[in-house]
Amino acid sequence: MKVAVIGAGAMGCLYGAYISRQHDVIMIDAYAPQVNAINEQGIRLEESSGQVDTFSNVRAYVSGECKEQVDLVIVFVKSTYTEMALEQNRDLFTPNTVVMTLQNGAGNDRKIAQYVNKENVIIGTSKHNAVNLGEGLVKHPASGVTNIGSNHEADAVLEMASQLLSETGFEVDVADDIQRIIWSKLLVNLSVNAFTAITETPIGYMIKNDYAWDFAKRLVYEAIEVAEADGTYFDRREALEMVKSVCVTAGDGYSSMYQDRKKRVKMEIDAINGAIVEQAKQYGVPTPYNTLIVGLIHAIEGAYEFYD
């Protein structure tokens, strides 16, 4: 099967490398140095054991330059760049191409449905943690389940995607209620991602400091109010335990938003905490803490020019 991964950052490289064990993989990214490094050296994965594996049977293209049609597209670009990336790479799609998004945030499936049949859109989440060290080298400190599902009748495409991921080394769960999974991932990201980006700390810090954990709880509680207004219900204690579990499992890792801040690039706050704030407006649910976080992250982005 021919598979294109749009977004050759940490998570894109992780999935592209593993899938290339049995399939023809094309990596696509807007950053030419990363593309060149992958073509010259392959993707190198540093596993939690310290072992570094090299995957040299992948090809890479600058976004928009690949004219090959593919069977499966996996989208891993930052949510803020989803539509641009899809538009630039329209040549990848056929009427039968399946597109799977494992991105952070909400609403990516609606953007993708503008380019392929909605029955061919798979949405999901990944509990893997990966850090982009540059030039095709990715650190993979923590593994976990890949959850996939669909908002439409899509048994055949889900079975195909599940088999492909399973046979290349991923633990996969096909979820009946994928929206609950998406909300669960949002609860983690809107607390862990946002807070560690602000404090510039590893993921595990959030549960080691009482002030940090208290603020995280306030963000999560607000989001649960929005989720329930939207029809998805959570036990608050269980939700907090879920977030805490991620902080324990990936304690020494760094969130994607933290990595974006270190690289001085735009963060995904609008697709994470910002998505909560926007959806809350539909139901009249107050979200002062998440609104504060969105403004603070954008203020930090505006201050990049003053950094050394």
- Give the class (CATH, top level) of 2-175: alpha beta
Q: Could you tell me the pLDDT band of residue 279, with boundaries at 50, 70 and 90?
A: confident
pLDDT reported for residue 129: 86
pLDDT reported for residue 267: 92
Q: How is 230-254 classified by DSSP, letter by letter?
A: TT----HHHHHHHHHHHHHHTTTS-
**Which residues fall within 8 angstroms of residue 205, CB to CB, at 6 or more apart?**
196, 199, 212
Q: Could you tell me the pLDDT band of residue 231, with boundaries at 50, 70 and 90?
A: confident
pLDDT reported for residue 102: 93
Q: What is the pLDDT of residues 233-252, one digit of tens each?
A: 999 999 999 999 999 988 88
CB-count burial class (<10 Å; 0-12, 13-18, 19+) for 232: middle
pTM greater than the 0.85 cutoff: no
Beta-bridge mates of residue 138: 45, 132
Percent of the chain with pLDDT over 90: 75
Per the document, the length of the chain is 308
Delimiting residues of CATH 3.40.50.720 domain(s) in the chain: 2-175
pLDDT reported for residue 308: 64
pLDDT above 80 for 107: no
Query: What kind of architecture, by CATH, is found in domain 179-303?
Result: Orthogonal Bundle (1.10)
pLDDT above 90 for 176: no
Task: Give mean pLDDT, residues 105-119.
Answer: 85
Q: Between 231 and 221, where is the model more confident?
A: 221
Q: Between 111 and 297, where is the model more confident?
A: 297
